[in-house]
Amino acid sequence: MPVGVDTHMPASCPAPLPARDTKPCAIRDRPTSLLAQARVRTRKALRGYAAPLPPPDCRSHPPVALNKRDHWIALNAYPNLKDGSVLGSDGVGVLTALAPSASSLQNLLNKRVVILPSVAWGPGGKRIQGPAFRVLGCQGDNGTFAEYVDVLEENVLPAPEALDDVHAAALPLAGLTAWRAVKTRGGVERGMNVLVTAAGSGVSTFAMQFAVALGARVWTTSSSKDKIDFVVKTIGVEGGVNYKDKDWTSQLAKLVGGSSERVIDVVIDGTGSLEECIKLLRPGGRYVFYGNTSQQAHTLAAQDMRTLYWLQADIRGSTMGSPEEFAELLDFVQEHKLQPVVSSVRPFTAEGWKAALGEIEKGDQQGKIVLKMQ
C-alpha cells in the first residue's frame, strides 16, 4: 500500500495531505504549491520547453541526487517516458503518512528514510524482476524531485545512521545497481581479481567500494589518470589503465601480474566493452554488464564464441535490484562504514541543474552529483 514520504522536509510549508489510497508513487503535491509546480515542470524543462523554478520559502530540504538516467531523460533518449510526470530516483526524507494497511512501517513514521527506486520489482526475488517493474521517476511514477512522494510500503527503509543527508541521497539507485552487479550477479568474493570499468561514474565507484570491502583485488579503466589515482588513493583500488590505448587489456594483465591476459575473475562493466573484457576472463569467469554507455553494437567473432564456451565463462546482464537486495545494501554500507563518493553538491536552481547535467555529459564527475535546495 502507498505511504507518504516528505523528501524535502519543508520547515514552513503547509502540512502534508492525509494518507490516501491513490495510484502508487503518485506525487503528494498541492495545486497551489509553486514548488510542486516547479517539479512537475522540470521534466518539460529537460526537453527544452520551460526553465525549472527555484523553490519558494521552504528552507529545510534534504537533497536529491542525479543519475546517468537523468541525462538520458534530458536527451529524451530513455524508454517508456511519460510526459507530465516528475523526475528523480534518489532521495532521502522523512516518512510522514501511512496508508491503513502499511502497519509494518509504523516504527518509521516521522523518521528519516531512504527510498528504493525499483518500483514493483515483483515476486521473483533476487532472480528476476516482474513484468510491471520500472524505475521511479518519469516512467508513469512521479519521482523524488518534489516535496512529497507516495511510494509502496516495500520501497521505504530506514536511512543508514552513519550517512548524512547528502550521502544518503546519493546511495539508492547507483548503489543498488552496483550491489546487484557485484554481489548477486557477479558473486564477488574475497581473493578474487575484479575489473570495474569506467572510473568516475556513480555505479562504478560504488562497485569498486563494494568489491574492495568484500576482500577482492580491484582494477579499473579510465581515460583520466586523475580518476584512476583518485580511486587508488581513496577506495583502495590496485590500479588502472587508459582504455583508449589499443593494448589496454595487455597493460592491465601486466598490472595484475598474470602469465597471460586471462587474469580477471569478474568484470563489472557499464560501458559495453564486451569484446575487450572477455579477453581478460579466467576460466569460469563472469562478465557482468549493467549498461552500454558507449551505445556500440557488438558482434562476437567465432573465436570469441569458442573462448566463452571453452572457458565456461558467463555473460550476465544486471539492472537495479530487489527490495531484499536494497536491504542487504543498506546493512552492508552500515556494517563497513562506507561513505558514498560525492563529486559535487549544487543548488537546486536552474543554474545548478544546468551545471549538474553538463558535468554528467562531460563525464567530469568522480562519484555522484547531489542537488540541494537552499
Alpha carbon distance 91, 167 (integer Å) = 10
Share of the chain above pLDDT 90, in %: 65
Cell of 135: 524505475
Residue 314: count other Cβ atoms within 10 Å of its Cβ: 16
Banded model confidence at residue 34, pLDDT cuts 50, 70, 90: very low
Residues β-bridged to residue 6:
94, 148
pLDDT-wise least confident of 9-13, 209-213, 218-222, 248-252: 9-13
Give the pLDDT of residue 259. Answer: 83
What does the pLDDT read at residue 24? 29
Task: Provide the pLDDT for residue 348.
Answer: 87
User: Residues 140, 31, 40, 321: is their CA dihedral positive or negative?
Assistant: negative
Whether 240 and 222 have beta carbons less than 8 Å apart is answered as yes
> Does CATH place domain 37-42+61-175+321-372 in 3.90.180.10?
yes
End-to-end CA distance of the chain: 32
Residues 6+ apart with CB under 8 A from 75: none
Residue with the bigger pLDDT between 241 and 53: it is 241
CATH architecture of the domain with residue range 186-317: 3-Layer(aba) Sandwich (3.40)
287 neighbors 278 (Cβ within 8 angstroms): yes
- DSSP letter for each residue of 24-81: TT-B---TT-HHHHHHHHHHHHHTTS-PPPPP-S------EEE-HHHHHHHTT-STT-
Residue 2, pLDDT score: 63
| CA atoms of 231 and 199, how far apart (whole Å) | 7
pLDDT band at 60 (very low <50, low <70, confident <90, very high): very low
Element (H, E) at 289: strand 281-289
pLDDT at 175 over 50: yes
User: Which of the residue ranges 39-53, 105-119, 260-274 would you say has the lowest mean pLDDT?
Assistant: 39-53
The H or E element containing residue 156 is strand 156-158
pLDDT at 222: 97
Instruction: State residue 75's pLDDT score.
Output: 84
pLDDT, position 7? 60
pLDDT of 53 above 70? no
Comparing CA positions, the residue from 354, 346, 214, 186 lying closest to residue 270 is: 186
Select from 29, 32, 39 the least CA-distant residue to 4. Answer: 29
pLDDT at residue 136 greater than cutoff 80: yes
pTM metric for this prediction: 0.86
Task: Give the C-alpha separation, 300 to 102, whole Å.
Answer: 49
According to DSSP, residue 114 is labeled E
Residue corresponding to grid cell 598474470? 258
Q: Hey, where are the domains in the chain?
A: 37-42+61-175+321-372, 186-317
DSSP 8-state assignment for residue 182: I
pLDDT digits (tens, 9 = 90+) for 321-367: 999 999 999 999 999 999 999 999 999 888 998 999 999 988 889 99
**CA-CA distance, 209 to 204, in Å (whole number)?**
9
Whole-number Å distance between alpha carbons of 169 and 48 = 26
Question: If you average pLDDT over residues 197-225, what whole number do you get?
Answer: 97
Q: pLDDT tens across 144-161, in order?
A: 988 788 889 999 999 999
pLDDT at 207 over 50: yes
Distance separating alpha carbons of residues 212 and 227, to the nearest angstrom: 17
